[in-house]
Chain A
Amino acid sequence: GAVVSQHPSWVICKSGTSVKIECRSLDFQATTMFWYRQFPKQSLMLMATSNEGSKATYEQGVEKDKFLINHASLTLSTLTVTSAHPEDSSFYICSARRPTGYGNTIYFGEGSWLTVV
């Protein structure tokens, strides 16, 4: 079964509004979570690394004031797309590192489709 869950699976919002996407680790504590976005027919692009209790680390070119990341607990990270515009429409995916066993495997959520109209 899924070990990382995202909500909502899809969301439609009006241009100029903000939308929040949640990422939860279901049966483990994740000190580190990652957020990706994916445009159609393209690969996943890492946006930021979310660290529990501290500020997120953003990849070059990703606007931290537009994509707000909060990792307030060991099982929950949220991504808020502020003042969304149609070009922000994309598939957003989170992942979390499961700190057990060999290699500390990283698992991905099911993804969240965002459409800005």
Chain B
Amino acid sequence: DAKTTQPTSMDCAEGRAANLPCNHSTISGNEYVYWYRQIHSQGPQYIIHGLKNNETNEMASLIITEDRKSSTLILPHATLRDTAVYYCIVRVDYRTQGGSEKLVFGKGTKLTVNP
């Protein structure tokens, strides 16, 4: 089961910042928070990931709370092409138990950017 909860859908005006929240209250100390997005009929696209500190790259910023129980993905200037389903994923790493790591997807947030 996915270890994250996200709102089902959100709307954002073009040019404005889109702030997508994610709750991961049961996250463990060595688990990363990953964000992907999926545009219709395509494979998921990697956006950003983080462990404790806030992260920023050319696509987005990731803000992780100090207790690591939640995070927010920020698209600073949303465009129509950012309309997609955004997935927040806690990366479960079973390698230390002899298993294999994997990404478990929840239902994600459908972000619609409006003109």
A residues apposed to B, CB below 8 Å:
4, 6, 32, 34, 36, 43-46, 49, 51, 57, 91, 93, 95, 97, 103, 105-111, 113
A56 to chain B, nearest CB (A): 10
Whether the pair B44, A43 counts as a contact (CB closer than 8 A) is no
Contact mask for chain B residues 47-60; partner A; CB cutoff 8 A; 1 contact, 0 none: 00101000000000
A105 CB to closest chain B CB (Å) equals 6
Q: B24: shortest Cβ distance to chain A, in Å?
A: 16
Q: Are A109 and B43 in touch, CB under 8 angstroms?
A: yes
Given contacts A43-B107, A43-B108, A103-B51, contact A111 B100 (CB under 8 A): no
A31 to B107, CA, bound (A): 28
Do B46 and A105 touch across chains, with their CB atoms under 8 A apart? yes
Quick check: A49 and B49 within 8 Å, CB to CB?
no
Q: Is the interface of A mostly helix, strand, loop or mixed?
A: strand
Main secondary structure of the interface of B (DSSP, over half): loop
- Among A4, A32, A51, A91, contact of B41 (Cβ-Cβ < 8 Å): A91
Beta-carbon contact of B45 and A108 below 8 Å: yes
- Chain A hits for B46, CB < 8 A: 105-108
CB pair B43 A93 closer than 8 Å: yes
Q: Which of B38, B103, B107 contacts A34 (CB 8 A)?
A: B103
List B contacts of A6 (CB < 8 A).
Answer: 43
| Contact present for A110 and B42 (CB under 8 Å) | yes
Contact flag A43-B105 (CB < 8 Å), given A93-B43, A110-B42: yes
Sampled A-B contacts (30; CB under 8 Å): A6-B43, A32-B100, A32-B101, A34-B102, A36-B105, A43-B87, A43-B106, A43-B108, A44-B38, A46-B102, A46-B105, A49-B102, A57-B100, A91-B41, A93-B43, A95-B43, A95-B103, A103-B49, A103-B51, A103-B91, A105-B49, A106-B46, A106-B91, A107-B46, A108-B36, A108-B43, A108-B46, A109-B43, A111-B42, A111-B43
